[in-house]
Amino acid sequence: MFLRSLLVLLFFVVAAQRSLADDGYRLWLKYDLIPDAGLRKDYQKAAGVIVSKGSTPILKTAAGELQQGLQGLLGQSVPVVSASKKGQGTITLAVDATANVSGQPLGKDGYSISTRSGNIVVTGQSESGVLYGAFALLRQMQTRQSLKDLALTSSPRIQYRLLNHWDNPNGTVERGYAGSSIWKWYELPERLDPRYQDYARANASIGINGVVINNVNASARYLTPEYIEKVAALAGVMRPYGIRVYMSVLWAAPKVIGGLSTSDPLDPKVKQWWTDRTNEIYKAIPDFGGFLVKANSEGEPGPQDYGRDHADGANMLADALGQHDGLVMWRAFVYKANSNGDRFKEAYQEFKPLDGRFKPKTLVQVKNGPIDFQSREPFHPLFGAMPRTPLVLEVQITQEYLGFATHLVYLAPMFKETLDADTYANGQGSTVAKVVDGSVDKHAISGIAGVANIGSDRNWTGHPMGQANWYAFGRLAWDHTLSAQAIAEEWTRLTLTTEPRAVRTIADVLVRSRDIYVRYTTPLGLHHIMGQSIHYGPEPWLASSARPDWTAVYYHKADAAGLGFDRTEKGSNALSLYRPEVQRQWQDPKTCPPDYLLWFHHVGWNQQLSTGRTLWNELCTRYYTGADSVTWMQQQWAAVQPQIDPELHADITGRLQTQRKEALWWRDACVLYFQTHARQPIPAPFAPPARTLDDIKRLVMIYQLR
């Protein structure tokens, strides 16, 4: 009997402990009781009642989120009332169309949080502004800041802040590494997975206000009445969070599902078809956001199939949108297979001449760099080159070329590198960020898009640290002036621990992780040398593929003389696409920053670099020190163990072990392969790899077996 009771007791103890484990589902929206009783008391005094001035859906969301958060943090019930009684300790939520900061309007989504006569007031010019303010106030407490004399204001610098899902109707996610799609198309519209709402909460908390729900390699399904109804059900979940739903569309849809013989954008029947579809969508989803289009790119159909250009296509869709409040986002990710050309230049050559041709409410969506989401790219030369067209910056949050969900790589430093790059389009200081936010060319609309890293995994992103990338994208979309370091610290405190030393250690690992990844995979400006098709692991020897610009040798051009792609005027002259000020930074191999060197120059193996080493020695040094830095990351992570949930800690520890193993794999593959061209020994103090190039080729082949 005694033994049985003991076993039962043990069961409950174990079960209770298990339920405490952090499975990552709550992301950064953790509202656990604040352990410091003194601080809790201060907060309790300031935040005892929520007064909501209004009961529209988004305001209700704001009050509900604030209530849920406060009750968790403070461990007491916090009522929501519609009018305040006299007394202290209220938080008032109110839309105020005249809200401003020192005479400057807050803007549609901006918020202000202030202390008035001892009470806290959260206002915005719109309900969404109030919602963002409510989340900001919660963040204040989650990161243990004071609530005394608050005077916080913030307005987003970019108007359309979108996640792009590359999710397919069959539940797979193109380049997704966190399980399958979170959208359950076969259950919609009748069953709404509770996860949809949690997804909306997370996005709203970081200011994301739009979601493209499906892959740019689009299925025509979404344009059928059956699927419009499903999308409408999702839109219904997003709406109270201030999030609009968008669709990627298949250019050939009029032929595929419309029974037409053509998809020519100038054909009246095609125009009518799109107008009808658009009207149908708006009937079901009155706040539908608009269309994203990948056309004449990587085999997708497009207007060029009919001798028309991208502007013809985009403008036809803009006409179809008509009076509806929606956008067309037309992607500039285009390139043709041409072994003699330079893929770097192709999007520029196709789109630059179209500047001025796009109708209002049409934006051109441009990837951060000219090739394809590599771990480091120079900024895309289209930024600053199309002053009459609003450009959406597209970055990839999912780590297609950055180690999937296995490698810890914090992407904010990479996003910042693009945002802060100076295009000199309108004199010094015309950064990509300012081109995108519309301030350089005085555009009324502005947008930014991140290809989502979200899937059905319990923790949403596969790698728990991948959550930081979703978070950082949202924060930078809101305010591109925030630093990668500040966002890393903020996310860590919200998500992992508030212990100051651990926060510093983890933020340090995060901030350095991207540079470390670049060193052990593609140092000195190498690019596109990853495994064919799967885009995982190294394959610098790849010399033949379905297209020349899908090989590795097309990009690194290693030979007996040296390494790198000459894009100066002696070579492809892609450099000439940039302003003279930018060209000057990169055109001379002696002064070109080492991080960009092989992007623009074919450099001799024995050429002395600004670092004091020869190219060969510098290359080896970066591969070896990069791989060794993963050991440093492991040590740092081990050091914070006492502050981190044990299961979560073990999860990341395991992933770091794989990362170290694969960093060595990258290192060995690349130094051994490039050595066949450089014909020099691995420089001291580094030990030559213990395995052969053939060993590694076998490894790579295993990963590519079907």
**Based on the number of CB atoms within 10 Å of its own CB, is 164 exposed (0-12), middle (13-18) or buried (19 or more)?**
buried
Closer residue to ligand BDP, CB minimum distance, 531 or 571:
531
DSSP 506-519: HHHHHHHHHHHHHH
Closer residue to ligand BDP, CB minimum distance, 217 or 576:
217
User: Which residues does the annotation mark as catalytic?
Assistant: 298, 372, 400
Instruction: Return all residues near 103 (Cβ < 8 A) that are at least 6 apart.
Output: none
Closer residue to ligand BDP, CB minimum distance, 333 or 491:
333
* Sign of the alpha-carbon dihedral angle for 340, 343, 349, 351: positive
CB atoms < 10 A from the CB of 486, how many?
13
Select from 508, 510, 489, 509 the least CA-distant residue to 499: 489
Asked if 122 and 113 touch (Cβ cutoff 8 Å), the reply is: yes
> Nearest to ligand BDP by Cβ — which residue?
372
What's the length of the chain?
Answer: 706
Residue matched to tokens 């109804």: 229
Spatial distance between the Cα atoms of 668 and 673, rounded to a whole number of angstroms: 8
Closer residue to ligand BDP, CB minimum distance, 174 or 319:
174
User: Which residues contact ligand BDP (rule: CB under 6 A)?
Assistant: 174-175, 216-217, 294, 298, 333, 372-373, 400
Q: How is residue 81 written in tokens?
A: 């009332």
At CA 66, angle to CA 503 and CA 206, rounded to 5? 55
Select from 673, 377, 638 the least CA-distant residue to 528: 377
At CA 373, angle to CA 475 and CA 347, rounded to 5? 110
Closer residue to ligand BDP, CB minimum distance, 366 or 603:
366
Closer residue to ligand BDP, CB minimum distance, 31 or 550:
550
CB atoms < 10 A from the CB of 642, how many?
10
Spatial distance between the Cα atoms of 130 and 121, rounded to a whole number of angstroms: 10
CB 564 → ligand BDP: shortest distance, Å? 22
The phi and psi torsions of 588 (rounded to 5 degrees) equal -105, 120
At CA 560, angle to CA 555 and CA 563, rounded to 5? 30
CB 208 → ligand BDP: shortest distance, Å? 19
Closer residue to ligand BDP, CB minimum distance, 115 or 532:
532
Asked if 463 and 452 touch (Cβ cutoff 8 Å), the reply is: no
Closer residue to ligand BDP, CB minimum distance, 176 or 626:
176
Asked if 597 and 564 touch (Cβ cutoff 8 Å), the reply is: yes
Strand, helix or coil for residue 560 = coil
CB 452 → ligand BDP: shortest distance, Å? 13
CB 174 → ligand BDP: shortest distance, Å? 5
Spatial distance between the Cα atoms of 379 and 368, rounded to a whole number of angstroms: 6
Which residues does residue 363 pair with via DSSP β-bridges, in sequence order? 329
